[in-house]
């Protein structure tokens, strides 16, 4: 027994008996080579390995794969993969440039060194049991080669050795990030200090808060905060500003006297909105990814409570008079399949810190900006009314997406009105502010590069004077109603995202995200008064041009929507659409994330689009925007920008690797035999389709997830329940009614936890439902024999990816 | 070719006919079928919608100029010509169409450098579509029509999924006759790929490109009190259609205006009347159209979300139950009958939520009739619509408020395959486009 094995065994003993004894751990290549070196048990170098990478020369080459991450090209590849620069800690990169990274260091013994790159255990699996078997054999004779170890095959090579568009784009096409790309500011929110003297602008790209002196319109400070900051709130006396950091899951506390970050508060994941309640001396932070709301006591410097929010809580408005804080939700609540979306307004009692109302906003999604109406016992909020249940076969008449405002009255009533006009839509309404006197509101249209000036009194009067039927059915759906309350639309800068009123109500400030400016609008007419430059570069880079196109609704008939309209933060809106190209009335398709997708071709749920250029070029124009397609250089820029949309950190993953449950789930995921010990056909194993850095082989497959409505099947209406799309036919699957199963794209599984709903048609509200409700025939993986614990473990593992 | 004589141009009622929101219907009763237009000059009749001055910057070579059609004052003389006139001094700068027996209806390109017009070299020649630079150079024949062309305008681009890039196209109108109504066609700017985009029973004309890229045009429809389908007294109503022929709809509803009011341009010139004056200038190009219309044999579909939806209201207690919907076209043994005789194509069920879903023959005029539980007719369309090959057309209801957006509901009809409606009952020859343009010369 040599030193390496001795170290390994010592480490095993030191860790003691635990869950880890049930699953093998990574021992490292040095341990493997102790026995499997040339001339000694070197069967791995026999003829069966002649065509494998397991020659000494090739093994050394694979070992260098980790070092490749330190090359300068790596950060450009990472950018196109939607990863932040820390490639050496990226699971996606490490999946092919290292060994065992997915399990984490918790599942390795000290002899294992991740910097050794791709090692034996990358193909053969963690080897601790194999080594232990050798030790306990008490024999110098070689143990059975396959004992506790995977045999490995050429299929293992294919997990990583496949075409990677991100790598080709950098290594072959020469794509490089421009240094200027890091210099943009991208203001996404703003707030005026309580004393009215300064404007604080939250800049997402520069990850800073820029402070503007409102007397001179000069920048007086720029404070670096956390990653991807989003919103800001002030303490009552203005002594502190609190900034949510989306990627860092934190809040930066800025001391305004000195303009320094003095502390960082950990909150939930992807926090967006934040408000400060002076009565309770409390921060209310909206954790969009968690669907939670953090209540943080500023005085006590502790988390008071974490409340359950809606789906994707986004922004909050605090109403001191009514003692309530109202929160918007960017995604609709999970409901019945093919029911119209219903989104939640969450109302918190400021005194108790409890949720007191969960108000439904029927037919609406993308609830974002929100503001109290002084003196009206109501709040205004922006919304979108997507027509996802009818075919997207035209755009006129608001056929795909309409955009509007909601009014939540503190008596519980919710009204909706549209800001669109018949041929001039008000795309991507992302924020609203109400003047201190409650008479005017300014709403921004991120896709239309304009704001709407709203006569609040006229809006409320319209609601009061309308009959019940009109309030419920006409006002939320009529393109002519905005003429009653929209005084005018005013062009501003590119991609306005946020708006705030000065304390006296005479000026509205609009943050223009994609030209790094703030527009000032002067009351009473709200004409553009000036433009405040935030200091971003004048040059528009290739990626910046793509970012602008992504947020620009002018590519769509009537400016009805932009890419962002369905992909906030490059992610999803939680809806399933009936796309014309697939046949109308059937084959609904779930919206898919754009985060980290470059290396996951083919695209489209049927997997028929080999590239993003195909997906976003001709197809987008003909079946979605209905206008001219992007010019070639525009499409290049758009696609490259989309590839850089960042994937947020996985909130289900511990820093040191998989939890015990997740590790058990991984064993289920990789199992080749069922609970009875019978072999599972390769087609029915999870890893057969879901492997590689993104857990997709990128090969179209048939897994019987097609359902009766994925093709025209003559079913009787009596078989369809009006309340349940699946109805009596719930158990009838595509193949059961005599049709050939369709080939479908194998979706990647990274951050799958944030991708609700699931399956190509969005039928499954949760991961659990994929198997408990929609895998009756056991064709989408062999799962029928799984115990409840095993299924929970499997899902826990999937969430960690 | 300077003309020293000054012409005073005065514009009357220059834009009155295009007040959006009011709409325009020129109620025209004609004695027999539709007006028989014998020459392009006659097309310069007051109902033309193309004489709106572009508002953009003056074009380089045409700066300070106006382009217009001149018609001889003498009624016996059918010649007409296209001239440029100084915008300020009102002097005729040049006659651009020397050598043409007839030339009229200039439509300026978006850059203000070229214009399309209808003209013929010889007096007996049919009218064709020509293009010329505004300095008179670069004359080329774009396309011809067997029976003659009446009007032509520039469109924005068209794009289909198999194209490398969008291409420019134009729209033009064929001349009508007793037997054959005028219809609107499109073709590429080089004259290729001509395609008919209107399929009316009684004629379509006056194409006008809206800022949103759609085409506004007039269609001859039966009066509301006439359900016999006779053509003795027709009304011209405004409709919109995409430039690929899809999604034809009434333009903000059908409106009537009492009395046709000419929007002529008067000229102090003893020999010529000057019409259709347009300031030569560039203008914004409306957005192009990305189209699903491709192969001529692609099936077309129509789905209606709620046949009970009329105005702002859905079904009420007093509404009769709609059991099915019937589809008619025109078809008879003679040319005239083929335009006047309704012909039943088929019928489809209407679901309990008011929805229906059909596959329809493309490229023929179609009329809808809702049928109640006892087989009685509940309502029948006055006008016709059509579907283009590959079009999957959706509508909310029957004469719903055009500003009303569709209800977001997965309707029953879309849960099953469409009912197939065919045109087998129609004579195949009658289904053919009566006036196939000559295409690229």
pLDDT in tens, A767-801: 999 998 888 778 889 999 999 999 999 999 999 99
Q: Are B309 and B397 in contact (CB under 8 A)?
A: yes
pLDDT score of B234 more than 50: yes
Q: Do B159 and A418 touch (CB under 8 A)?
A: no
Partner-chain residue, chosen from A340, A394, A712, that has the shortest CB–CB distance to B409:
A340
pLDDT score of B171 more than 70: yes
Residue A191's φ and ψ, nearest 5 degrees, are -155, 150
Q: Which residues pair with A614 in a beta bridge?
A: none
The confidence score (pLDDT) of residue B31 equals 28
B228: Cα within 13 Å, side-chain hemisphere: 6
Strands (E), B242-312: 249-250, 265-268, 272-279, 289-291, 300-304
Q: Do B351 and A725 touch (CB under 8 A)?
A: no
CA distance A776 to B229: 57
For residue range A144-169, what is the model confidence (pLDDT) as tens digits?
A: 656 778 877 778 888 899 999 999 99
* Span of A448-457, A491-500, A723-732 with lowest mean pLDDT: A723-732
Q: Are B322 and B350 in contact (CB under 8 A)?
A: yes
Q: Do A397 and B351 touch (CB under 8 A)?
A: no
pLDDT (average), residues B213-233: 71
Residues of B in contact with A391 (CB under 8 A): 303, 392, 394, 414
Q: Do B414 and A585 touch (CB under 8 A)?
A: yes
pLDDT (average), residues A84-101: 90
Which of B299, B416, B420 would best serve as a mutation to test chain A binding (most A beta carbons within 10 A)?
A: B416
Q: In A, residues 643-672, which contact B (CB 8 Å cutoff)?
A: none
Residues of A in contact with B394 (CB under 8 A): 390-391, 393-394, 399, 584
Q: Do B412 and A717 touch (CB under 8 A)?
A: yes
Token pair for A641: 């920008």
A388 touching B (Cβ < 8 Å): yes
Residues of B in contact with A558 (CB under 8 A): 212
CA distance B344 to A77: 63
Which of A384, A390, A554 would best serve as a mutation to test chain B binding (most B beta carbons within 10 A)?
A: A390
Q: Are B256 and B26 in contact (CB under 8 A)?
A: no
For residue range B86-110, what is the model confidence (pLDDT) as tens digits?
A: 877 777 888 999 999 999 999 999 9
Token pair for A256: 């305004």
Parallel, antiparallel, or unpaired: how do β-strands B289-291 and B149-160 relate? Answer: parallel
Of residues B104, B168, B114, B166, the one with CA closest to residue B140? B114
Please report which helix (H) or strand (E) contains residue A97, including its range: helix A91-97
Domain ranges of chain A: 3-177, 181-543, 544-643, 660-706+741-799
The confidence score (pLDDT) of residue B424 equals 76
Partner-chain residue, chosen from B163, B288, B394, that has the shortest CB–CB distance to A627:
B288
Q: Rounded to a whole number, what is the distance in Å from the CA of A493 to chain B's nearest CA?
A: 21
For residue range A32-52, what is the model confidence (pLDDT) as tens digits?
A: 888 887 555 555 555 555 556
For residue range A304-359, what is the model confidence (pLDDT) as tens digits?
A: 999 999 999 999 999 998 999 999 999 999 988 889 999 999 999 999 999 999 99
Looking at domain A3-177, which of 3.40.50, 1.10.150, 2.40.50, 1.10.1130 is its CATH number?
1.10.1130
Burial class (CB in 10 A: 0-12, 13-18, 19+), B79: middle
Q: Are A780 and A703 in contact (CB under 8 A)?
A: yes
* Span of A55-64, A267-276, B399-408 with lowest mean pLDDT: A55-64
Residue A740's φ and ψ, nearest 5 degrees, are -70, 135
Parallel, antiparallel, or unpaired: how do β-strands B8-11 and B92-95 relate? Answer: unpaired
pLDDT score of B261 more than 50: no
CA distance A45 to A30: 16
pLDDT (average), residues B330-357: 80
Partner-chain residue, chosen from B162, B405, B415, that has the shortest CB–CB distance to A397:
B405
A710 touching B (Cβ < 8 Å): no
Q: What is the dihedral of CA B18, B19, B21, B24, to 10 degrees?
A: -50
Residues of A in contact with B251 (CB under 8 A): none
CA distance A789 to A792: 5
pLDDT (average), residues A666-677: 94
Using DSSP, state whether A800 is helix, strand or coil: coil
Confidence at B40, pLDDT banded by 50, 70, 90: very low
Q: Do B303 and A712 touch (CB under 8 A)?
A: no
pLDDT (average), residues A505-516: 97
Residues of A in contact with B161 (CB under 8 A): 618-619, 621-622
Angle between helices A632-643 and A72-80 (to 10 degrees): 100
Q: Do A477 and B407 touch (CB under 8 A)?
A: yes
Q: Which residues pair with A171 in a beta bridge?
A: none
Q: Do B161 and A338 touch (CB under 8 A)?
A: no
The confidence score (pLDDT) of residue A734 equals 57
Which of A341, A366, A585, A619 would best serve as a mutation to test chain B binding (most B beta carbons within 10 A)?
A: A585
Residues of B in contact with A717 (CB under 8 A): 351, 412, 415-416
Q: In A, residues 460-479, which contact B (CB 8 Å cutoff)?
A: 473-474, 477-479
The confidence score (pLDDT) of residue B181 equals 82
CA distance B370 to B379: 5
pLDDT (average), residues A226-230: 97
Of residues A188, A633, A585, A226, the one with CA closest to residue B301? A585
Partner-chain residue, chosen from B290, B401, B411, that has the shortest CB–CB distance to A626:
B290
Q: Could you tell me what percent of chain A has a pLDDT over 70?
A: 90
A402 touching B (Cβ < 8 Å): yes
ipTM: 0.89
pLDDT score of B340 more than 70: no
The residue ranking higher by pLDDT, A573 or A55, is A573
Give the contacts of A531 (CB within 8 A, at least 6 positions apart). A493, A517, A518, A519, A520
Q: Which fold has domain A181-543?
A: Methylamine Dehydrogenase; Chain H (2.130.10)
Q: Rounded to a whole number, what is the distance in Å from the CA of B1 to chain A's nearest CA?
A: 41
Q: What is the DSSP string of A155-185?
A: HHHHHHSS--HHHHHHHTS-----GGGGT--
The confidence score (pLDDT) of residue B187 equals 95
Residues of B in contact with A393 (CB under 8 A): 392-394
- Tell me which CATH code domain A660-706+741-799 carries: 1.10.760.10
CATH superfamily for A544-643 is Cytochrome c-like domain (1.10.760.10)
State in words which class domain B8-291 has.
Answer: mainly beta
Please report which helix (H) or strand (E) contains residue A662, including its range: helix A660-670
Using DSSP, state whether A516 is helix, strand or coil: coil
Q: Are A256 and A236 in contact (CB under 8 A)?
A: no
Residues of B in contact with A721 (CB under 8 A): none
Residue environment code for A40-78, b if the CB has 16+ CB neighbours within 10 A, otherwise e: eeeebbeeeeeebbbeeeebeebbebbeebeeeebbbbb
Using DSSP, state whether B89 is helix, strand or coil: coil
Q: Do A478 and B403 touch (CB under 8 A)?
A: yes
* Span of A358-372, A373-387, B199-213 with lowest mean pLDDT: B199-213
CA distance A366 to A101: 36
Q: Do B414 and A584 touch (CB under 8 A)?
A: yes
Tell me the C-alpha to C-alpha distance, in Å, between residue B5 and each of A58, B9, B269.
91, 13, 9
Confidence at B338, pLDDT banded by 50, 70, 90: low
Q: In A, residues 602-621, which contact B (CB 8 Å cutoff)?
A: 618-619, 621
The confidence score (pLDDT) of residue B221 equals 79
Q: Are A77 and A176 in contact (CB under 8 A)?
A: no
The residue ranking higher by pLDDT, A354 or B338, is A354
pLDDT (average), residues A455-482: 96
* Span of A23-27, A432-436, B437-441 with lowest mean pLDDT: B437-441
Burial class (CB in 10 A: 0-12, 13-18, 19+), A384: buried
Residues of A in contact with B166 (CB under 8 A): 628-629
Partner-chain residue, chosen from B405, B408, B409, that has the shortest CB–CB distance to A479:
B405
Do the two domains A3-177 and A660-706+741-799 of this chain adopt the same fold? no
Residues of B in contact with A468 (CB under 8 A): none
Partner-chain residue, chosen from B249, B289, B405, that has the shortest CB–CB distance to A402:
B405
Token pair for A747: 């979706």
- Residue of chain A with shortest Cα separation from B157: A628
Residue environment code for B271-302, b if the CB has 16+ CB neighbours within 10 A, otherwise e: ebbbbbbbbbbbbebbbbbbbbbbeeeebbbb
Q: Rounded to a whole number, what is the distance in Å from the CA of B280 to chain A's nearest CA?
A: 26
Residues of B in contact with A623 (CB under 8 A): 292
The confidence score (pLDDT) of residue A8 equals 59
Q: In A, residues 552-591, which contact B (CB 8 Å cutoff)?
A: 557-558, 578, 580, 584-586
Number of residue pairs across A and B with CB atoms under 8 Å? 142
* Cα dihedral A243, A245, A251, A257 sign: negative
Q: Which fold has domain B300-431?
A: Immunoglobulin-like (2.60.40)
pLDDT score of B56 more than 80: no
Q: In A, residues 367-386, which contact B (CB 8 Å cutoff)?
A: 385-386
């Amino acid at each position: 027994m040599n030193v390496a094995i001795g170290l390994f065994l010592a480490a095993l003993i030191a860790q003691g008996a635990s869950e880890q004894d049930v699953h093998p751990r990574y021992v490292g290549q040095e341990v493997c080579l102790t026995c499997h070196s040339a001339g000694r048990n070197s069967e791995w170098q026999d003829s069966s390995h002649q065509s494998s990478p397991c020659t000494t020369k090739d093994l050394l080459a694979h070992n260098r794969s980790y070092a490749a991450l330190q090359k300068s090209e790596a950060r450009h590849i990472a950018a196109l993969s939607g990863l932040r620069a820390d490639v050496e800690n990226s699971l996606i990169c490490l999946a092919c440039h290292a060994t065992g990274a997915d399990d984490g260091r918790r599942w390795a013994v000290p002899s294992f060194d991740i910097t050794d790159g791709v090692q034996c255990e990358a193909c053969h699996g963690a080897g601790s049991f194999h080594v232990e078997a050798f030790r306990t054999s008490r024999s110098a004779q070689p143990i059975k080669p396959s004992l506790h170890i995977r045999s490995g095959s050429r299929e293992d090579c294919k997990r990583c050795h496949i075409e990677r568009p991100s790598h080709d784009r950098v290594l072959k096409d020469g794509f490089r990030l421009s240094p200027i790309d890091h210099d943009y500011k991208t203001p996404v929110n703003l707030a005026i200090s309580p004393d009215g003297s300064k404007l604080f602008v939250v800049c997402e790209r520069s990850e800073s808060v820029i402070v503007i002196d409102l007397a001179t319109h000069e920048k007086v400070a720029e404070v670096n905060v956390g990653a991807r900051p989003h919103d800001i709130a002030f303490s009552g006396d203005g002594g502190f500003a609190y900034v949510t950091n989306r990627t860092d899951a934190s809040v930066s506390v800025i001391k305004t006297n000195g303009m320094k970050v003095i502390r960082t508060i950990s909150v939930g994941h992807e926090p967006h909105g934040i408000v400060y309640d002076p009565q309770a001396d409390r921060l209310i932070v909206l954790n969009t990814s968690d669907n939670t709301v953090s209540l943080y006591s500023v005085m006590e410097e502790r988390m008071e409570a974490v409340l359950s929010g809606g789906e994707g809580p986004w922004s909050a408005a605090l109403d001191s008079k009514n003692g309530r804080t109202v929160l918007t939700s960017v995604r609709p609540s999970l409901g019945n399949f093919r029911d119209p979306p219903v989104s939640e307004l969450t109302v918190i009692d400021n005194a108790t810190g409890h949720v007191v109302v969960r108000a439904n906003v029927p037919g609406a999604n993308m609830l974002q900006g929100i503001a109290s109406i002084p003196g009206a016992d109501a709040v205004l909020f922006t919304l979108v009314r997507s027509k996802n249940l009818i075919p997207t076969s035209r755009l006129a008449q608001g056929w795909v997406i309409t955009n509007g405002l909601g009014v939540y009255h503190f008596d519980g009533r919710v009204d909706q009105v549209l800001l669109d006009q018949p041929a001039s839509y008000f795309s991507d309404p992302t924020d609203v502010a109400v003047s201190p006197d409650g008479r005017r509101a300014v709403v921004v249209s991120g896709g239309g590069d304009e704001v709407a000036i709203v006569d609040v009194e006229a809006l409320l009067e319209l609601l009061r004077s309308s009959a019940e039927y009109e309030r419920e059915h006409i006002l939320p759906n009529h393109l002519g109603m905005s003429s009653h309350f929209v005084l005018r639309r005013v062009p501003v800068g590119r991609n306005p995202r946020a708006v705030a009123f000065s304390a006296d109500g005479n000026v509205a400030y609009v943050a223009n995200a994609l030209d790094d400016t703030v527009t000032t609008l002067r009351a009473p007419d709200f004409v553009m008064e000036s433009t405040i430059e935030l200091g971003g570069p004048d040059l528009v880079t290739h990626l910046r041009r793509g970012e602008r196109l992504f947020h620009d609704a002018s590519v769509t008939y009537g400016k009805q929507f932009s890419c962002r309209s369905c992909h906030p933060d490059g992610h999803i809106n939680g809806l399933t659409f009936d796309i014309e190209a697939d046949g109308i009335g059937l084959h609904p398709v779930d919206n898919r994330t754009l985060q980290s997708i470059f290396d996951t071709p083919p695209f489209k749920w049927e997997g028929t689009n080999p590239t993003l250029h195909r997906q976003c070029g001709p197809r987008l124009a003909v079946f979605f925007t209905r206008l001219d397609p992007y010019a070639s250089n525009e499409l290049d820029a758009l696609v490259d920008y989309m590839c850089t949309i960042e994937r947020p950190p996985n909130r289900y993953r511990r820093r040191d690797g998989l939890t015990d449950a997740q590790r058990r789930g991984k064993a289920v995921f990789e199992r080749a035999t069922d609970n009875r010990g019978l072999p599972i056909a390769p087609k029915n194993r999870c890893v057969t389709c879901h492997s590689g850095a993104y857990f997709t082989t990128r090969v179209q497959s048939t897994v019987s997830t097609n359902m009766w409505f994925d093709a025209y099947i003559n079913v009787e209406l009596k078989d369809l329940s009006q309340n349940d799309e699946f109805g009596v036919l719930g158990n009838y699957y595509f193949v059961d009614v005599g049709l050939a199963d369709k080939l479908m794209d194998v979706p990647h599984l990274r951050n799958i936890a944030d991708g609700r709903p699931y399956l190509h048609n969005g039928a499954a509200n949760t991961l659990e439902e994929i198997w408990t409700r929609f895998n009756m025939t056991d064709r989408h993986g062999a799962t029928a024999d799984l115990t409840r614990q095993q299924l929970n473990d499997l899902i826990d593992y999937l969430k960690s990816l | 070719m300077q003309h020293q004589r000054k012409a005073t141009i005065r514009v009357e009622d220059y834009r009155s006919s295009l007040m959006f929101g009011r709409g325009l219907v020129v109620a025209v009763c004609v004695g027999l079928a539709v007006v028989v237009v014998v020459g392009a000059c006659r097309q310069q009749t007051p109902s033309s919608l193309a004489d709106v001055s572009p508002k953009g910057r003056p074009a380089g070579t045409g700066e300070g100029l106006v382009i217009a059609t001149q018609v001889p004052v003498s009624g016996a003389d059918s010649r007409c010509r296209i001239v440029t006139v100084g915008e300020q001094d009102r002097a005729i700068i040049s006659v651009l169409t020397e050598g043409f027996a007839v030339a009229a209806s200039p439509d300026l390109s978006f850059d203000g450098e070229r214009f399309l017009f209808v003209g013929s070299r010889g007096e007996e020649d049919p009218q064709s579509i020509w293009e010329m630079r505004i300095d008179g150079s670069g004359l080329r024949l774009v396309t011809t029509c067997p029976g003659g062309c009446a009007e032509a305008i520039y469109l924005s681009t068209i794009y289909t999924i198999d194209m490398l890039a969008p291409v420019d196209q134009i729209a033009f109108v064929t001349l009508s006759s007793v037997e054959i109504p005028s219809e609107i066609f499109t073709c590429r700017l080089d004259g290729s790929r001509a395609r008919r985009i209107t399929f009316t029973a009684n004629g379509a004309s006056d194409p006008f490109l809206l800022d949103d890229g759609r085409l506004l045009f007039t269609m001859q429809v039966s009066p509301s009190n006439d359900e016999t389908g006779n053509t003795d007294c027709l009304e011209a109503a405004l409709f919109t259609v995409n430039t690929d022929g899809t999604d034809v709809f009434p333009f903000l509803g059908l409106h009537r205006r009492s009395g046709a009011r000419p929007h002529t341009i008067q000229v102090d010139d003893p020999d010529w009347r000057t019409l259709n004056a347009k300031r030569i200038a560039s203008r914004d190009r409306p957005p192009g159209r990305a189209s699903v219309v491709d192969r001529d044999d692609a099936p077309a579909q129509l789905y209606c979300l709620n046949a009970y939806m009329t105005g702002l209201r859905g079904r009420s207690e007093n509404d009769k139950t709609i059991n099915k919907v019937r589809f008619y076209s025109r078809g008879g043994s003679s040319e005239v009958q083929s335009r006047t005789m309704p012909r039943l194509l088929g019928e489809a069920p209407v679901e309990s939520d008011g929805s229906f879903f059909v596959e329809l023959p493309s490229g023929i005029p179609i009329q809808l009739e809702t049928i109640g539980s006892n087989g009685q007719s509940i309502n029948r369309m006055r006008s016709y619509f059509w579907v283009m090959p590959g079009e999957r057309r959706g509508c909310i209801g029957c004469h719903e408020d055009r500003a009303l957006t569709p209800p977001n509901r997965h309707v029953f009809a879309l849960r099953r395959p469409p009912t197939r409606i065919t045109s087998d009952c129609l004579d195949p020859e009658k289904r053919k486009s009566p006036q196939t343009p000559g295409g690229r010369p």
